[in-house]
Amino acid sequence: MKTKSISLLVILITIVTYNGSTQDSISAKLTQSAIDTRISEIRMGEIIIHAEPGAKVKVEQIRHEFLFGTAIPNEVAENAENALSEEDRAMYLKILSENFNYAVHENALKWYDCEKEENIVDYSVADRIWELCNERNIPMRGHCVFWAKDKYIMPWLYELNNDELRAAIHSRATSVANHYKGRIEEFDLNNEMIHGDFFRRRLGYGIVNEMALMVKAENPNAKLYVNDYGVLDIGYNDDTYILQIQNLLANGVPVDGIGCQAHLAHASPTVTPAEHVQRTLDKLAKFDLPIKITEALFIFDDEETRVRELKKLLPIYFAHPSVEAIVIWGFWEGSHWVPNTAMWKKDFTATPQAEAYRTLVFDRWWTQITDQADDKGILKARAFYGDYTITSGGVTKKVTLGKEDGSIEVMF
């Protein structure tokens, strides 16, 4: 009896110690110094410049390699219902170009928007949005091939029998994959599967495999993401999401990436602890798949809280080695899912939240250097991965410092 008591005590101490050390480890990752160190390690490389000895060298970043994106509403397209005025569209596109290098359709690519009536498929609005982004060298991700929630299922789909429904799924998957092949090569496959199960309820769990294989058969290069909420925001679904991803992979679904929506305070006004976000990202990283923050939004009642939470959480996302993109879910109050949370007001003036975003992305995480080459004509500069202009001796060169290479040499 005594031996059992001692053993139980040892187990309890072990559990407490393990949990405590884990919490200590998470907390240690969240100090400003630790975050800055990780950002430097994973988001920066080295530019080695060869110039005349003692020559002045100017290094100016012009674009991030890391993807800072936004969702684009239908109204930006000239051919959309309730399209923006020319003046508003011009201002919208100016802010888009100056602040983001990645984008997603807010609604135009969703099935219910592209095929309101059976067999009448219309990609014209989605295409125009893609064209506007492509003209500005802004790549797009695809949101979404399917959406699992009943409330977003078109009425005509409900009327189909199971064989007809499977045929409609096949038509949608092959259509969108083929239409955007070579233009959009990454898609949320079946959006919000934690919260909806329309297709699985009708056709069984294997339909998710079929969806994926249908897309891949049409475009083998397509990358397919899961995407859901309640994972980073509050975290009531984090373990459920992890289990779902495990099951999908175990059943052969080709999951290529993990999307975390991060609509903070949408489901609850509670502030999400930084510790939860870091811990959840670390757990998701064990799948060794890219993670994208697909729908970031700070849905709090007051601007002060929105700014504080953005400044708290964007550095955690950016400092995580598995995170490859941060997408803000819309930026302009004039056309926004939750208008009062928009970064730019209806008159296109920047809010404090927009200023906080720009300070991080284009100041703290941005490289601008003016220096001199040493007596051997060499200047080595630590710089964020991205595109640069480098000037010395009256000559300017455009170069790209990529994470894949880690460094680049520039000769003058």
Give the contacts of 290 (CB within 8 A, at least 6 positions apart).
256, 257, 258, 322, 323, 324
Q: Which residue has the tokens 């928009």?
A: 342
Mean pLDDT of 128-153: 98
- Tell me how many degrees the CA angle 326-40-329 measures, rounded to the nearest 5: 10
Q: Which structural domains are found in the chain, ordered by start?
A: 77-349 (3.20.20.80)
pLDDT digits (tens, 9 = 90+) for 268-289: 678 899 999 999 999 999 999 9
Q: Is 370 exposed, middle or buried (0-12, 13-18, 19+ CB in 10 A)?
A: exposed
What mean pLDDT is predicted for residues 33-60? 98
Paired strand residues for 105: 72
pLDDT band of residue 194 (cuts 50, 70, 90) is very high
Q: Which two tokens stand for residue 270?
A: 């509670």
Per residue in 225-272, pLDDT (tens digit) is 999 999 998 788 999 999 999 999 999 999 999 999 998 766 567 889
**Which pLDDT score is estimated for 268?**
64
Longest CA pairwise span in the chain (Å): 85
Average pLDDT, the chain: 93
Strand partners, 230: none
The single-letter DSSP state of residue 180 is T
Torsions phi, psi of 220, nearest 5?
A: -60, -20
* pLDDT confidence of residue 10: 34
Residue 216 has pLDDT above 70, yes or no: yes
Would you state the pLDDT for residue 266? 66
Q: Please, which pLDDT band fits residue 195 given cuts at 50, 70 and 90?
A: very high
Q: Does 128 score more than 50 pLDDT?
A: yes
**How much is the pTM?**
0.93
Give 24 or 151, the one with higher predicted confidence: 151
